Amino acid sequence: MLQVSNLNPLQRVALRFAVVSLLFYGLCIIEGMIMRAYQIDFNLLDADHYFAMMGAHPMVGIFGSSFMLVFGAFYFLVPTLLKKEIYSQRLAELTWILMTIGVGIVWLSGFVFRYAALYTNYWPLPVSKEFSPYALGSFAVGNIIIMAGVFIFCYNLFGTVFHQREDKKPIGPLLISALGIDGFINTYRKLTKKRAEEEPLMPLPVVAIFRGTVDTVLDAVVLGGISVVFLYHAFQSFMGTTLSAEWFDALIYKNIYWWGLDLIADGLVLIYVAGTWYLLATIISGKKLFMQNIARAALLVELVVSWNVWGHHLLSDQSQPNTMKIVSGELVTAFELVTMGIAVFITLFTLYQARPLKMTPPLKFLLGGILGFSLGVPAGIIQADLGMNRILHNTQWVIGAHAHMQLLVGLGMTLYAALYTLFPMLTNDVKLKSSALTNFHFWAHLIGGIGMSMSMGFAGMDGMLRRTIYPGDTTFQPHMIAAAFFGSLILLAYLAMMYNIVSSIGIRGLIEIFVKLPERVKRETSPAVQI
């Protein structure tokens, strides 16, 4: 059982993030199952409620589940890897409070107030008169609170990376290392043999975390700014006036919106994931990462890619300039296959060098995450072709074969690999009670995630649109029945995992994680991870 009094503040705050994240993830699964049931004509809710849930579902999944778990893990890992204290423990605690409240309000805006501008929030749809000021206002307030939490996390992380109490070093070399520039420098020195390579100032996982956080800041600026506009409109509605639909150019809005939102896909889903793979590969294998300089350089190259890749979302928008479609939508997007491919190759080869390896839960989930991205990323490249996009755009293929495969299997199983790796570090070596449940969790989630994603993808290939319901139409029902079946495996996997964790740490330990830490417990950094 977990002895919370023996945990330091950094362990406690990371566990708080993890618990809240897993609870939001469960909510996300339930919402997904309700929507799957609706698609097979088993209507638990009315149509308006279905679309409102569709809008809340990705917000809960991205910010409530994924961001919360990632933020908690990084709050623990960055100080640990750098062997220094976190910049501010209070800001870390404030982050999870704001994120929890913000996601809860956003969920209520959809589930209670029926805000259903769907996931795009395309102008002027969010300010349509069909939504009450309470719906729009609560959605905007929730998003602003979430983005405030994101800003605090980024500030705290940057502070941890650069703040120096003793033996102060110039900021310039630290920034060069944090961005991965030293990867290019050392590669050049190795090829020319003119100068010896220098030991990087930042561990590679910290470089990936720092690089991803740059994108996360920019994303928060865009989404926070849009939310302020929504809140202003809601206030105007309370006062009896409304903003004109022409107040904001729709095409400019869509480009700004997708530029910001796609940074989530690159900062969180690609760069953060690559850094997590590198860390897990070194911990699991006990070996130094293969081609470390190339890995660092690739993270910097991804900076250029991530800032210019948004155009693939607008390939079917007739008013979008063709040059932007071809350059951003096709060429730059296709290059992500290269940057992500480098991460896959380096991770797998590092593991290969350490063979034979015991198939532990972290290793199994790591390989499952790599498999998910190996399926989901090419699916995204396929739909980012102008010709294929005419067929696949706005179909279930986009959210099935690409998005859910990448997020649910790729990102999800990577996060589970990190969770199983960090669990003993965060709990002072508490052992999970059942290896059988862990094994069931792996297979049920892997089969369920791939099966559901492919079922939705096949439906999209047959012409089933996303954001669309087909009452009384059985054309796509076999695909949706299959998706519901595989989705139920994901739910069972989640329940098995939660039971295993809760029974291992105990109900009392779970509650005490959220109780204020006694003053007698010292504020010290967690033991360093050996990599």
Instruction: Judge whether 377 and 336 are in contact, CB under 8 Å.
Output: yes
- CA–CA dist 135, 118 (Å, integer): 13
Neighbours of 473 (CB within 10 A): 10
Q: What is the pLDDT of residue 470?
A: 85
Instruction: Return the structure tokens found at 85.
Output: 């204290």
Report the interhelical angle of 333-353 vs 361-383 (nearest 10°). 160
- CA–CA dist 28, 407 (Å, integer): 13
Q: What is the pLDDT of residue 168?
A: 65
- CA–CA dist 309, 263 (Å, integer): 9
Instruction: Judge whether 255 and 321 are in contact, CB under 8 Å.
Output: no
Instruction: Judge whether 64 and 21 are in contact, CB under 8 Å.
Output: yes
What are the CB-based long-range contacts (under 8 Å, 24+) for 429-435? 430/1, 430/2, 430/504, 430/505, 431/504, 432/500, 432/501, 432/504, 433/500, 433/503, 433/504, 434/500, 434/503, 435/361
Along the 531 residues of the chain, how does pLDDT read in single tens digits?
A: 778 788 888 899 999 999 999 999 999 999 888 888 888 877 777 777 888 888 888 889 999 999 999 999 999 999 999 888 899 999 999 999 999 999 999 999 888 888 887 656 788 777 777 788 888 889 999 999 999 999 999 999 999 988 766 666 677 888 888 888 888 888 888 888 777 777 888 888 999 998 889 999 999 999 999 899 888 888 877 777 766 767 788 889 889 989 988 888 776 777 889 989 999 999 999 888 898 889 888 888 888 888 888 999 999 888 899 999 999 989 998 888 888 899 999 999 999 998 889 999 999 999 999 999 999 989 999 999 999 998 999 999 999 999 999 999 999 999 999 999 999 999 998 899 999 999 999 999 999 999 999 999 999 999 999 888 887 788 899 999 999 999 999 999 999 999 999 999 988 888 888 886 554 444 444 444 444
pTM: 0.91
Closest CA to 17 of 69, 63, 90: 69
φ/ψ of residue 244, rounded to 5: -70, 145
Q: What is the pLDDT of residue 340?
A: 87
Instruction: Judge whether 299 and 180 are in contact, CB under 8 Å.
Output: yes
| Cα 160 → chain centroid | 22
- CA–CA dist 383, 397 (Å, integer): 9
- CA–CA dist 34, 111 (Å, integer): 12
- CA–CA dist 473, 52 (Å, integer): 22
- CA–CA dist 282, 290 (Å, integer): 9
- CA–CA dist 145, 61 (Å, integer): 16
- The single residue listed with the structure tokens 């996009």 is 389
- CA–CA dist 335, 110 (Å, integer): 36
Give me the amino acid identity at 295: A
Q: What is the pLDDT of residue 26?
A: 94
Closest CA to 279 of 82, 530, 85, 75: 530
Q: What is the pLDDT of residue 516?
A: 64
- CA–CA dist 369, 277 (Å, integer): 9
- CA–CA dist 417, 290 (Å, integer): 20
Instruction: Return the structure tokens found at 216.
Output: 């996360």
Residue 159 is inside which H or E element, if any?
helix 133-162
- CA–CA dist 205, 280 (Å, integer): 9
Report the interhelical angle of 133-162 vs 204-238 (nearest 10°). 150
Q: What is the pLDDT of residue 19?
A: 94
Distances, alpha carbon 126 to alpha carbons 2, 23, 59, 402, 508, in Å: 46, 28, 15, 26, 43
